Structure 1
Amino acid sequence: MSKKEYPVVLRFEGMTPGDLAGYEAHRLRKGGDLGHVDRKRSGLNQRLLGENDWAETAQLEIQEIRQEMFAAELDYLERRKDRKAIKQRLAEGPRDPWRASRHGPLREVILTANKEWFEATEDSDELFNTQREDDFERLAIDWLQTNFGDDVIHARADRDEQAYHIHAVILPRAAVRKYGVDCRMLQPSVHPLIRNYETAQDSVGAQFEDIGLVRGERRKQAIRDALANGKEPPAKRRHVRPAKWRQMEEKRLAEEAAKVEKRRRETASRAREAGDIIRFSEALAKGSADDPVSDGDATAMPEMLREPTGPGHEPSKGIARARKAFRMAFNVLRRRARKEAEATAAAQVASAVEDIKQADQTIVEIAVQLPKGLRERIAKTRRKLTAKIMTLDPSSKGRAKGRNSDETQM
């Protein structure tokens, strides 16, 4: 089984002079993101390079460079006798001695490796072996000083976070020809390893290979190979600062917890609604079986299905939903019952009308045999009675003609 390989981790982070105060506050564990810090181990942190007042000294040097460049600019304008420009620049004041960029003129360097690599103790019987930390520190200081020289104004080792790591700050001093003289300014690209990330990864990989660490993933080469072979290149990896990552992770965990709590509440709410519906249904079934139908109306709505009114009558969501469902079903049944009742009544009326018709025919047959005077009286009475009775029969429309012929025969 092959031995697991651990890469040495190198990152550059842009900084501005205004970031130094916050950087120092975090270094001294007096500010910044401290949620991940084991305060019991903060005493093990160690300053490796630079004096204790390095940040203040750096600020003073940057201000000095700013004033030097401003003086050189004013001398240049004076030599050109450009009074208007001199007046304008005096009003504006000194400018920052670096080219504006989103990264800033300074660089923070972070060097570390996987926590598992530092904790491995197979070469020693000591439980708390720090040999790997010591070796890593020695090689890191050598690499920083070899590649950045005196521009490494600060370096420290942190042992109170998840994995041992080293922070360093680079003040990239450069000399440029400007305003007819040599001027100092801050220029990160003066250092080849800052200018070329892949070269920096190669350099740090070679530096730490003697203690078993390897170079990090060659992502740019992988992209070039993929493009050359007509394949989809791997997605560009964007580094997120630890503090930002922890903030994002805390937000993600909080959102997940909120979703879990929402699902729990929804489940509990549905369970309560189901219980309410069951109890409502049981109460409705019991009430409808025991209560007499009001006013003898088989289609009268039970009291429990009616909308509650007045204060203190707000039902639970479960009961409200059950009441609505039952009321809709009850209305359908009620309409069906009314239609069935109307159909039954119509059949009964039709049967009665048919009986009346038969009786009327009998009267006609008898009246034919009576004297003319009696026939006329019966015919007159029959017209009034028949007119009222036949209104009950929808099929009687248009039958007046037939009725008149019967009367003529009488």
Structure 2
Amino acid sequence: MSREHPVVLRFQSLFPAALGRMAMHARRTGGPLDHVERDFAARNRTLVGPDFAREVRAEIRAMKRRNRDEEVEALLRQKRKAQAKRRREAGLQDPWKASEGGPLREAILTANKEFFHATHDTPGDDVVVTYGVGKNGETVRNRLCGKKIREFEKRGRRFFEEHFPGAVRHLRLDLDEQTPHFHALLLQRTEKTSARRGKQDLIQPSSNPLLANYERAQDAAGAWFADVGLARGARSAKARREAREADIPESARRRHVSPRERREARLARQLAAEKTVAHQQAEAFLEWVMANSAREFAELTERRAAERERQAENLFKEARALSRSAADRHATTEALGRAFEVGVSAIEGKVLAHRPGKNEREPEGLKFGAAAPREKASREELAAAVRPAMAPLVRIARQIASLEAREQEADRALAEAARRARVIAAHLPDPSLPEAARLLAVAAGAEVDYSEESFPGAWAVPADADPAETQKALDGFDNRTLLERHSACLDAVLLCEEHPDLRVDFDRGRRVLEVGAKQRGLDIDTGQHDPSAAIDPERAKLHLDSELRPQRKTRRLSRQRVR
């Protein structure tokens, strides 16, 4: 009876943002390619969705639009005009429930490599050669049977059509790696209808029983390929469950090793092998020289004997240098990886930041950021840790600084547009005012010297303001006025960088408004009033009848520091 080899079916969750990386790997234009034989890339066969990344993104955008339009129509049918307006203004929303892994599934279907091996009676013209890497980094040549590969392709394609109908957006058989395997992209859709939201198209992997229960998927794969000599893999999850129920120690969970970990382990083994070979070659050569010298030149003079000794010492030094070189390469690789990891984390956490270059003597580099430690010893330790990877870290910090600068400039432009709109709106009731020409200049983008009057609605609170009078004015604002004044203060703080005294007063007004919102239970970010969340229950009752604006996200000033 022939031996049954395991069939392997794995799923990986991913977000639509990862489709570009998946497509790039499918075209062999990027990603980890050291396990791929590039000369064999033409063997790969795309069975479904050659342009799947663009098509799936377009499909998701269409779902978002239909879902929004359906929900708006459903609300209008129920006479909920205000809710329908808010839903329309909210824009497009993702058609899936939030999750850590993402709504799409990448599937990999393969079998044990030995299943594909060619036998002695396989015709020569039906033998497919692939290459792989052994445990010690050596190249492994595999002779596979073309007939088995074709049968696996035929049954694999039918497997996806049968068990994931309508969900397969991409299906590809890769034959340029060591073992033939399928890559599939699954987008499992379902439809839900309700009176409030209408008909909604959703991406819901759990609506397919095999994606809801991976053990059931393994059972299905084992049954599908059973008649060609493949069997379901070990039931490790079931064994662990039974062990927990019987209160006995569980067997160790098999951990999937990523290609990156395999490459790093292979590099470590290669370095160790190089070191061992260098030692052996040096010692063998040294022994040969010494033995040959003793046998053939015993009668030579003391001078020649001293010369032989010097040559032997030089050879031994070269051997030790070879050994140190292999160890240094390994240490350098590890240090670079650690430095890069520490540096990226520090840049993301604002501990390090980009320092622009001034001239050839002061080139660009890194500097300590707002979140950097104050202790000199901690700073020196961080600088030493990232020094091996300084060049790539400087490039990363430069890109992040550029993005932040563009975001800050966009915020300023938006704030200036809002300020000009408020200036013009404040004078619209009387267009005959003598400053109408100035208002037109403001609208056209003319430069102005900012003052408190440049920001209608903003609240500048001086440092010597009377706290009681400030609280009285704050209590007089209804909820809508408080929110509008807070938004105007945010714009004023963004635009008054060249007027530090004015900027400090506007920022103080912003903070006072945020305290007032907490007193009455008003959420600055969403615009929702919840008296039960108020820190001052009496003030929470002052403006219960005020009309609030629709929910919105408030622009924060996390990157600005007020001087």
The TM-score with structure 2 as length reference comes to 0.43
Show CA shifts across 1:373-398 (max 9, x none).
Answer: xxxxxxxxxxxxxxxxxxxxxxxxxx
Cα distance in 1 for partners of 2:7, 2:97 equals: 31
Choose the corresponding residue for 1:206, options 223, 227, 230.
Answer: 223
User: 8 Å contact 1:121–1:127 — kept in the other structure?
Assistant: no
Alignment match, 1:215: 232
Cα distance in 1 for partners of 2:29, 2:17 equals: 17
Give the partner amino acid of 2:118.
Answer: A
- Matched residues, number: 266
Unaligned residue ranges in structure 2 (runs of 5+): 128-145, 279-320, 328-563
Q: 1:78 to 1:238 in 2, by over 3 A?
A: farther
Q: How far is the alpha carbon of 1:58 from its aligned partner? A: 1.7
Alignment of 1:156 with 2:154, yes or no, is: no
Does 96-105 or 172-181 show the bigger shift?
172-181
Q: 1 or 2, which has the higher helix percentage?
A: 1
Choose the corresponding residue for 1:182, options 164, 185, 199.
Answer: 199
Q: 1:255 to 1:196 in 2, by over 3 A?
A: farther
Q: 1:183 to 1:122 in 2, by over 3 A?
A: farther
Give the partner amino acid of 2:71.
Answer: E
Larger radius of gyration: 1
Choose the corresponding residue for 1:63, options 61, 64, 72.
Answer: 61
Show CA shifts across 1:111-138 (max 9, x none).
Answer: 1112222123245243643011111111
Cα distance in 2 for partners of 1:244, 1:101 equals: 26
Cα distance in 2 for partners of 1:49, 1:117 equals: 25
Percent of residue pairs identical:
38
Alignment match, 1:101: 99
SS of equivalent residue, structure 1 residue 150? coil
Alignment of 1:224 with 2:241, yes or no, is: yes
Cα distance in 2 for partners of 1:258, 1:233 equals: 39
Show CA shifts across 1:11-52 (max 9, x none).
Answer: 01112222212211111111111121110000111112235x
Alignment match, 1:7: 6
Cα distance in 2 for partners of 1:128, 1:42 equals: 18
SS of equivalent residue, structure 1 residue 14? strand
Q: How far is the alpha carbon of 1:56 from its aligned partner? A: 1.7
Q: How far is the alpha carbon of 1:93 from its aligned partner? A: 1.8
Cα distance in 2 for partners of 1:83, 1:95 equals: 19
Alignment match, 1:165: 181
Alignment of 1:41 with 2:40, yes or no, is: yes
Cα distance in 2 for partners of 1:103, 1:254 equals: 36
- Alignment root-mean-square deviation, CA: 3.3
- The residue correspondences of 1:3-402 to structure 2 (distance < 5 A) are 4-51=3-50, 53-79=51-77, 85-86=83-84, 88-122=86-120, 124-126=122-124, 128-129=126-127, 130-178=146-194, 179-243=196-260, 245-246=262-263, 250=267, 264-265=323-324
User: 8 Å contact 1:14–1:106 — kept in the other structure?
Assistant: yes
Q: 1:74 to 1:162 in 2, by over 3 A?
A: same
SS of equivalent residue, structure 1 residue 60? helix
User: 8 Å contact 2:72–2:197 — kept in the other structure?
Assistant: no
Q: 1:128 to 1:230 in 2, by over 3 A?
A: same
Show CA shifts across 1:75-132 (max 9, x none).
Answer: 3444455565455444442110001112211111111112222123245243643011
Higher relative contact order (CA 8 A, sep 6+): 1
Q: How far is the alpha carbon of 1:7 from its aligned partner? A: 0.3
Unaligned residue ranges in structure 1 (runs of 5+): 269-410
Give the partner amino acid of 1:161.
Answer: E
Alignment match, 1:283: none
